[in-house]
Every structure is written in structure tokens, then in C-alpha cells.
Amino acid sequence: MVRGSSKSLKGFAVAVGLTVAAITLWGFSHRLYASLLPGLGTAFALTPAQSDMARSAIALGYFLMCLPAAFISRNLGYKIGMLFGLGTFAVGMFLVYPAVERHSLAFFLISATVIGSGLAILEVTALPLVVFLGRRETACQRMSLAEAVSPLGAVVALYMGPKILASTAATPHDLVLLLSTVGVAAIVLAFVTEMVPFPSVATARTVPGESTLASFRPPLRIKRFRYAGAAGFLCLFAQIVIASSAPQFSRSAMPSLGPDGAQMVLMGCYSALGIGRLVGPLVMRWIAPLRLTILFAAAAAICSVVSVVASGPAVIAAVLGTCFFMAIVLPTIFADAILDLGEMAKSATAVMMFVAFTGTGAFALLTVVWTPAILPWIMLLPALCFVAVAAIAFALKQNEPAVRAALD
């Protein structure tokens, strides 16, 4: 009996490890592609508008595949969904080669869309699997820890990208080779994942005949899930604002930083995000996840405001503090939202990711009215988001006893 339990625990650990590896690849490759895009843009002689199209193509892939990914996870299981996401992502990476060889902008945009589609499938299938691979009581901690490696992978990509582009020997084909290597890594990870047996929760499929389209409605009828979806939108919007504006915002507060210093600030933001997701689960041993989410969201709002009213190095410290405190907010709310949904969690995840993804569209609208005069005040937007998220987390916490009673 002890041997069986030990083997079961080992199987869960390996499954969690491979799932976390997929999430790490997601964070690394997403940022690496963005870092190398200027070099690829030069190879294609892209105009600023065309560069924006290339950047938006990945977002288009997310938009197209977030909801359809539920069909994969429901009918094939989480594990097959991960394999499908890794494979699609790898194909997108490989398509960059013919795009460069043919000097085809259309081919390049297609490859970026396929990459985004693969990343969307991977996110919709891998994240909920982390929630269910283990004890219910530690799901929020597990989710935060799993997502800690994603920003740390982004830090590596942020460091590598500019170094590669600054190399005088680097050619467009070198960039293609690097992206193709990442694609090969995805294939290798998919192969290893396929060979390793996963717990039954990873391979469970929906009863044949149940409509995936109809499965999107039941989660939306749950008030708690709707609150969590709104919080997810606000969190992702705040993160996008910070990630997109932190370098310029820091330079406006400290002109002496320079471009390299601003890049270091962005790396510091991702590092703080990763560290926060490592520290948060430890604190959850003494403070309940939703209670800690309220405190951290409030602290992130305060740091955002301080970054606007402060000056000098205090601005950088406040921005990094915002990233640290916002780290656990989205993973915790996501885990709490799907934890008790059972089979509905597959469609609910797709809906929540799609709703959160619209935060990208909201930011795109913000860039339309963007002016230099807005920059010194831009961090007030995340502050407002985190105040609202703290209020939503408080409402979820108040509703928690009723949810637990219904389960009992």
C-alpha cells in the first residue's frame, strides 16, 4: 500500500513537472519572439504599421483559439490538449523559416498567428491541469508556484533577445534557427509528455454527444465565476499596462536611466513577478489564499499610486513593488474560480482566458489615444484595477462559506 502511494505521488510530481515545463516554455517563447521581432522586422523591411500587425498576429491566434481549445480539452483531455498546443506552437515556429526564405510578409503573419494559437491551446489546457493535479487545499499555492517559472523564463528571453540582436554576426537566418530550436524543444517536451503516464484527471474526456458550445453557458450562470472573470480581465489589463509602459515610465521619472537601464527595469518587473509567485504560496500556509489576495491587491494598488507621486529611485522601487504584490492575484483567483466546477472547468477556463484576453484589446484601444502627457499618470490605471480586484476578492471571500456548505 505504501509502495502504491509512493508511486502515485511520484506520478503526480512528474505530471506537475512536465506541465510546469510547458508553462515555462510558454513564458520564455512569448517574450523571446517579441524580443526578436525588431530583427525579423528589419529582415522583412517592415514599416511601423506592419510591425504592429506582426505583433498583433500572436494576439489574433489567442483570439481565434481560446474558446475552441475547450473542444480539445473536453473531447480529448487535458494531456492531449497540451500535446496539441505544443505541436501547433512548434509548427508556427517552423513556419518562420519559409517566411524568411520567401521574404513573404503574409507567410510571416500566418506563422505568428499559428504560434499564438498554439500558446492559447497550451494555456487553456495546462493551467487548469495544475489546479487538479494534487490536493484541493493546496490548489492556489500550486497554481502560483507553477506560474512563477513563466516570468522567470521571460527574464531569460529579455536578456537573450537584445544580446542576439546586438551581435554584429547575427543574421535573419540565425534568428530563424533560434526560433526553430525552440520549436524543436516543444516537440521534445511533447514527446516526453506523451511517453509519461499522467493521472486520470489529465486524460478524462467528456461524455460523447455533449455540445461544447452549450457547455459555455453553465459557468456564466454562476455569480462567483462571473466575478472571477471580471477580476481576470482587470488583472491582465493591469499587467499589460505595466509590462508595456514600465520602461518608458521609469525613464520619464529618471531620465538618466537610458535605454539599457529601462530594459533592466522591465527585467526587474518580471523578476519581481516570479519572486512574488514563489513567496506568495509560502505565506498562504498562514494566511488563506483569498485573504492574502485582498492584501496583495491592495498593496499593489498602493505601490502603483506611490510610483506616480514619488520621484527618483523610489519610482523604480514602487513599480517593482507593484509587480511583486500583483504576482499571486491572477493565479489565485483563477484557481479559486475553477476549483469546484468539476467537468465545467474545461469550458470555464476557456471562457475566463478569453475574457481576460480582451484586456489586450482594451490596451490596444488605449494606445489609440496615447499621448506623452498620459505617461506620467499611466500607473494610476493599474491602481484602479487592483482596487477593484481587491473588492472582488473580498466579495469572493465573503461568499466562500456558502460555497463550502453547498459542497458539504
Cell 505617461 -> residue: 375
In a shared domain, residues 247 and 194: no
Regarding whether 346 and 201 lie in a shared domain, the answer is no
The DSSP code for 287 is S
Among residues 245, 153, 176, 143, the alpha carbon closest in space to that of 36 is found at 176
**DSSP assignment of 184-212:** HHHHHHHHHHHHS---HHHH--PPTT--H
CB within 8 A of 134, min separation 6: which ones?
A: 12, 16, 142
CA gyration radius, the chain? 21
Pairwise CA distance, residues 176 & 172, whole Å: 6
The predicted-structure confidence for 218-253, as pLDDT tens digits, reads as follows 888 888 899 999 999 999 889 888 888 888 888 888
If asked whether residues 146 and 39 sit together in one domain, one would say yes
Burial profile 357-366: b = 16 or more Cβ within 10 angstroms, e = fewer: bebbeebeeb
Give the pLDDT of residue 4.
40
Task: Give the per-residue pLDDT at 1.
Answer: 35
Do residues 257 and 346 both lie within one domain? yes
Supply the pLDDT for residue 325. 95
Which pLDDT tens digit goes with each residue over 250-281? 888 888 777 778 788 888 998 999 999 999 99
Q: Which of 154, 178, 205 is the last residue of a domain?
A: 205
Residues 162 and 221 in one domain: no
CATH of the domain at 50: 1.20.1250.20
pLDDT for 165: 66
pLDDT score for 256 = 79
Statement to judge: residues 45 and 168 lie in one domain: yes
Cβ–Cβ < 8 Å for 272, 327: yes
- Among residues 185, 205, 225, the one where a domain terminates is 205
Task: Please tell me whether residues 233 and 295 are part of one structural domain.
Answer: yes
Per residue in 372-388, pLDDT (tens digit) is 777 788 889 999 999 99
Q: If DSSP codes are grouped into helix, strand and coil, which group holds residue 276?
A: helix
List C-alpha distances in Å: 261 to 151, 254, 265, 268, 375: 19, 10, 6, 10, 18
What pLDDT does 170 receive? 61
Structural domain of residue 87, as residue ranges? Answer: 1-205
C-alpha pair distances (Å), 281 with each of 138, 176, 231, 270, 336: 9, 38, 20, 18, 14
User: Do 287 and 345 reside in the same domain of the chain?
Assistant: yes
> 172-202, pLDDT tens digit by residue?
677 778 888 888 999 999 999 888 888 888 8
Both 48 and 141 in one domain: the answer is yes
My answer on whether 172 and 231 are in the same domain is: no
Last residue of a domain, one of 184, 205, 226: 205
Q: What is the pLDDT of residue 259?
A: 75
pLDDT of residue 302: 96
> What's the whole-model pTM score?
0.85
Go through the chain and tell me how many residues it has: 408
Distance between CA 315 and CA 96 in Å, rounded? Answer: 39
Reference 85, options 26, 154, 145; nearest CA is: 26
What's the domain count of the chain?
A: 2
Q: Can you give the pLDDT at residue 299?
A: 96
> What parts of the chain have a pLDDT lower than 50?
1-8, 403-408
Same domain, residue pair 175 and 218? no
164 shares its domain with 251: no
Cell of 313: 529611485
